[in-house]
Amino acid sequence: MSRHEFQTEVDQLLKLIIHSLYSHQEIFLRELVSNASDALDKLKYLTLTDDRLKTLSFTPRLDISIDENASTLTLSDNGIGMNEEDLNANLGTIARSGTKNFLSKLSGDAKRDSNLIGQFGVGFYSAFMVASRVDVVTRKAGEEKAWRWTSEGHSNYEIEESQRDSHGTTVVLHLNDDGKEYASSWKIRELVKKYSNHIAFPIFLTYEKTEWEGEGENRKSKKVPTTEQVNEAGALWKRSKTELKDEDYKEFYKSISHDWEDPLLWFHTRAEGTLEYTTLFYIPSKAPMDLFQADYKPGVKLYVKRVFITDDEKELLPTWLRFLRGVIDSEDLPLNVSREILQQNKILSQIKTASVKKLLGELQSLASNDQEKYLKFVGEYNRVLKEGLYSDYANREALLDLVRFKSTKVEGWTSLAQAKDRMQSEQKALYILTGGTEASLRASPLLEVYRKKDIEVLILDDEIDEIVFQGIDKYKDTDLKSINKADVGEDLKDKADEEKEKDLKPLVEKIKKVLGDRVKDVRVSFRLAESPSCIVTGDDDPSVKLQQIMKAMGQKDLPALKPILEINPDHSLVVKLRQLNEGALFDDAAFLLLEQALLIEGVPLESPNTFVARLNRVLDQAV
Ligand code: ADP
């Protein structure tokens, strides 16, 4: 026998489950049934693809049995099973960084944490909510040895060699005081119906049924061992839409997603034509915990003619759709399709393309028909939609219609189509502003002229906006322009502005001389109303924010940031500067015009000391 310590994270998770989930104890059964179902799926697949297991004949099933006297609940599957190494890896550590990340987000506040944990598959360890000890006896398919894992859910577990007639896993829960109520056949029947009715394999319940015999005084009860099937065990997605109720869809969602909230939406599609397949996709009402984790777990399972093939294939759908949960079931793929060839498979890629088209269409009609629900969707998934804009070129048009924006004109969210409808008659493009938090963008001097002319600007405050919108310059036939760029403002210029430009030419030249290679150019601005100056970037240069991101990502050899400085011809400071002779004060003022504009854009100053000395020299003359 060998004794092992749980990895620290497991210990943490165990404590958390026990403390946060006491009002949801019953989900332990769903978790264990789901593990058994996965184990059956995996073995079924291997009997089709693995030469060593092709001869194995097996009828997948899960048996649950109750022993009231011993107060135990036992789940036994004839699935893939585990060897010693698997046991240590699976029931002793947490490999996924998504889980670790989840744990680090916890606050210690039980109420808040239990909300969080609801979106997260707690898995096997939830058994310790209802059991004071858990024994796992398991044998891996194709191997001779069996193993027994046992733990009381404190900081350690033990493993020893054991006996099992055949492959599979038996989990014995020694129920604690809280768990006693689960040693009841009606309770288990109720829970299986509630959480696991649509598990694809039959679940049998074995218990002692009380039967009565005899009449009158001779009437006696006796206990008769009884076994009955307690779930429907069909592929729900193969049934017709008309036959299925909302409740059926929701139940199935919960059984495949570990989520206990209802899904936001689902789309059930049967395609019959050149290709025959069924898809059932769900959108969770809360974005999955690991959505922005590199090792996220994909949520869509692939089946071929109802046989499970894989739940770990990230290429089934475009990456930006990784929040979807559900099933793809193809009639055309060969059953023994190996995972390696899945990625280049033509049929799958056709299913993928068609599924994405269909989904985009459904989302579009949701956006038109049920605003409230659509905004919920946007609240959770706007950012991944933008990722789609960047990575899924073929669907860019459709995605541009689905993404929502903040705006200087309306509260809440707006679409590009709506912003386009609101365009002023003289307005030449749809304007966007990127590169900061919502508050800093809304305060940007770059917005001044647009505000004055009552032109809408869309506020893009997601970190990725910078990169995503760099490559998008049109919405339908309308230009999409970032107002941080030098070129914009040109079409907002009028006659008077051209006069001013001529007038100020000497001043501009003087400032340019003083600032030297700190700037790419100095220009008269047509976009400022209140501020004396602002910086913009050349049309082909990366924006200030993007340069910062590139630097933060360790990109070396970046050319020094050279902005274009624009000065406001109507600002009193600029007007006064025209009168000022060249000299120390003029130089200080020129640099301060540049440095204040950099600060507002969130660019750290190269030398704060020089800036402060300059500011003090100027103040000294003023007070
Ligand atoms: P999850 O199911 O989310 O991966 P769990 O904590 O529930 O997490 O289970 C951890 C792992 O233990 C599973 O991924 C699986 O490899 C293994 N496991 C659990 N139960 C079984 C079982 N009945 N048969 C085979 N393997 C199992």
pTM of this structure:
0.76
Interior CA angle at 260 toward 257 and 265, to 5°? 70
Look at ligand 1, atom 15, and give the residue with the nearest C-alpha. Answer: 90
CA dihedral 236, 241, 246, 251 (to 10 degrees): 10
Which pLDDT belongs to residue 21?
72
CA nearest ligand 1 atom 18, residue: 35
Q: What is the dihedral of CA 22, 26, 28, 29, to 10 degrees?
A: 170
Ligand 1: residue of 100, 124, 151 to mutate (most ligand atoms within 8 A of CB) is 124
Q: Which two tokens stand for residue 26?
A: 């019953």
Q: Tokens in use for 595?
A: 């440095």
Rg (CA), the chain: 33
Ligand 1 within 6 A of 39 CB?
Answer: yes
Residue 41 Cβ inside 6 Å of ligand 1? The answer reads no
CA–CA gap between residue 120 and residue 318 (Å, rounded): 23
Ligand 1 neighbourhood includes 65 CB (under 6 angstroms): no
Nearest residue (by CA) to ligand 1, atom 21, is 35
Q: Whose CA is nearest to atom 17 of ligand 1?
A: 90
256 ligand 1 Cβ < 6 A: no
Rounded distance from Cα 320 to ligand 1 centre (Å): 27
Residue 325's pLDDT is 96
Ligand 1 centre distance from Cα of residue 111 (Å): 27
Angle at 75 between CA 69 and CA 80, to 5 degrees: 155
Any atom of ligand 1 within 6 Å of the Cβ of 263: no
Task: Identify residue 465 by its one-letter amino acid code.
Answer: D
- For residue 123 and ligand 1, the question of a CB distance below 6 A is answered with yes
- Ordered by where they begin, the domains of the chain are 2-229 (3.30.565.10), 236-371 (3.30.230.80), 404-490 (3.40.50.11260), 496-622 (1.20.120.790)
Q: Report the pLDDT value the prediction gives residue 491, as an integer from 0 to 100.
A: 65
pLDDT at 48: 86
Site to probe by mutation for ligand 1, drawn from 35, 100, 169 as the one with most ligand atoms within 8 Å of Cβ, is 35
Q: Whose CA is nearest to atom 11 of ligand 1?
A: 90
SS3 annotation, 74-102? EEEECCCCCCHHHHHHHCCCCCCHHHHHH
* Mutational test site, ligand 1, from 90, 143, 166, 256, max ligand atoms within 8 Å of CB: 90
What's the 605 CA to ligand 1 centre distance in angstroms?
A: 53
Q: Is the CB of 99 under 6 A from ligand 1?
A: no
Sign of CA dihedral 392, 394, 398, 400: positive
**Is any ligand 1 atom within 6 A of the Cβ of residue 569?**
no
Ligand 1 pocket member 435 (CB < 6 A) = no
Distance 35 CA to ligand 1 centre (A): 5
Comparing CA positions, the residue from 320, 319, 322, 312 lying closest to residue 289 is 322
Answer whether 80 contacts ligand 1 (Cβ < 6 A). Answer: yes
DSSP state string for 582-620: SSHHHHHHHHHHHHHHHHHTTPPPS-HHHHHHHHHHHHH
Per run of 10 residues, the mean pLDDT along the chain (length 623 residues) is 86 78 81 91 90 91 95 97 94 72 68 60 85 97 97 92 97 96 94 83 94 87 92 89 94 86 95 93 93 87 84 90 95 75 84 95 96 96 95 95 97 96 92 91 91 93 90 93 77 78 93 94 90 87 74 71 90 92 92 94 88 94 85
Which residue's alpha carbon is at the smallest distance from atom 12 of ligand 1?
90
Q: How far apart are CA 527 and CA 73, in angstroms?
A: 73
Atom of ligand 1 nearest to the CA of 125: 6
Residue of 564, 560, 498, 489 whose CA lies nearest to 529: 489
Cβ–ligand 1 contact at 121 (below 6 Å): yes
Closest by CA to 544, choosing from 447, 433, 442, 459, is 433
Both structure tokens of 560? 């020094």
Atom 23 of ligand 1: nearest residue by CA position? 36
CA atoms of 79 and 56, how far apart (whole Å) = 12
Measured in Å, residue 31 CA sits from the centre of ligand 1 at 9
- Does 36 contact ligand 1 (Cβ within 6 A)? yes
Contact 236 CB / ligand 1 (< 6 Å): no
Closest ligand 1 atom, CA of 123?
Answer: 7
Decide: 124 in ligand 1 pocket, CB within 6 A: yes
Nearest CA to ligand 1 atom 20: 35
The residue whose CA has the least distance to atom 1 of ligand 1 is 123
Say if ligand 1 is within 6 A of residue 310 CB: no
Compute, in angstroms, the gap from residue 86 CA to the centroid of ligand 1. 9
Note the pLDDT of residue 447.
Answer: 93
Query: SS3 of 196, please?
Result: helix
Q: What number of CA atoms fall less than 13 Å from residue 416's CA on the CB side? A: 22
